[in-house]
Amino acid sequence: MPVNEIPPKRYSEINLLYAARCMRGIGDGFAAVILPAYLTAIGFTPAQIGFVAAASLLGTAVFTLLVGLIAPRHDLRNMLLLGAALMVATGAALPNGDHLIWIATVLFIGTINPSTGDIGVLVPLEHASLARGVESSERTRTFARYSLIGALSMAAGSLVAGLPDVLVRSGFGQLTAFRMMFYLYAALGILAALLYLRLPHARGEPSRPTAPLGPSRSIVYRLAALFSLDAFAGGFTVQSLLALWLFGKFDLSVSAASVFFFWAGLLSAFSLPVAARISSRIGLINTMVFTHIPSSICLILAAFAPNLTVTLGLLLVRSALSQMDVPTRTSYVMAVVTPPERPAAASVTAVPRSLASAISPLFAGALLTFPFSGLPLIFCGSLKIIYDVALLFSFRHIRPPEEHGARKGP
């Protein structure tokens, strides 16, 4: 269904969700870059930073699972408001202590993640809210726009990550400048809450089953298992650890890193609507796989690149390809389950991703101390290629409604 055929009231609700995603994206974008620099400034080692990253992702998994279990029985609007309140509390609490246990606890409970991907307690709630009432023909484009807005806002947030250097030149101390950024993160949470307040109350589908997952349970669990492999691989190069690798290997400044991640985010953003177009021709699964594999190859090559220019070039090519599976993956999950199962399906497929990605930063932090520090990139790229091949062979015959009757090929 074209955008202009969506009822005006529903179209307004979707725009509110898009705007809230923008607020969160800006915060996520600069937090992922600022976090490793801040932790380094207060004396954390790479291994400790890896531990903190793992704690953050593990907490995200736990709370996302809880959200998925209770969301089908509660008002989505109220759940979104609780998530926004948690975002505010995270930004306000993090700068008020520098002990490892305090930092790890705040990040375990809170919403700041070392990754800028679509993870967190608010993601399955927003996905379920977006999918409600959207026709199959419009679903992938809706999620492509959602992902595009998220990627653009995170790119802008990466650029904002250079603000501490400006504040330092203006006379502020480095730690003060970093802490001010976390307070800015809390302010963005307040703005997101104000947007959620304008949404209507929604308890999901009136015909929902008594269990969060019903007839689609088998498909969801199989997808969750594969997605967990992809996330475990991605945990080796979450943005905070990738920034830490660039800081250590090439002595890159925070300002220079913020510019690089801005352009990387911009390339990722503009690939998202392209993914929606490609998927309409070759199918969702084929789009996920055949754009993902080249990006993984670029990541592996970056580990062996002889200088900063070649490294950043390969990473930018990777950025232009690696996120094309985001809207297609979300659309596919929403398509192959029944409407009442969507909140639980979004959560159950997201939780293993967060759990798996919480493990690999522990290894990545240790690997960064090896003489050849590019090992996390190699592990990430190799495991992602294995995931892509397994996904293709496992789900190429399970098609969403809009692909029935059409032959989709690469």
pLDDT at position 32 is 87
pLDDT-based confidence at residue 21 (cuts at 50, 70, 90): very high
Better pLDDT: 214 or 168: 168
Please list, in sequence order, all residues whose beta carbon lies within 8 angstroms of the beta carbon of residue 287, skipping any fewer than 6 positions away. 275, 278, 279, 324, 325, 328
Q: Over 60: is that where the pLDDT of 204 sits?
A: no
What per-residue string of b and e applies to 21-60 under the rule 16 or more CB within 10 Å gives b? bbbbbbbbbbbbbbbbbbbbbeebebebbbbbbbbbbbbb
Q: Over 80: is that where the pLDDT of 183 sits?
A: yes
pLDDT-based confidence at residue 330 (cuts at 50, 70, 90): confident
pLDDT at position 10 is 62
Mean pLDDT of 389-395: 93
> In this predicted model, what pLDDT tens digit does every residue of 248-290 receive, in sequence order?
899 888 888 889 988 998 898 888 788 888 988 898 999 999 9
pLDDT at position 133 is 60
**pLDDT > 70 in the chain, percent:** 89
Q: Over 60: is that where the pLDDT of 134 sits?
A: yes
pTM of the model: 0.70
pLDDT-based confidence at residue 142 (cuts at 50, 70, 90): confident
pLDDT-based confidence at residue 4 (cuts at 50, 70, 90): very low
pLDDT at position 41 is 92
Mean pLDDT of 329-335: 86
Q: Over 70: is that where the pLDDT of 118 sits?
A: no
- Domains of the chain, each with CATH number or no CATH: 3-201+212-403 (1.20.1250.20)
pLDDT at position 170 is 92
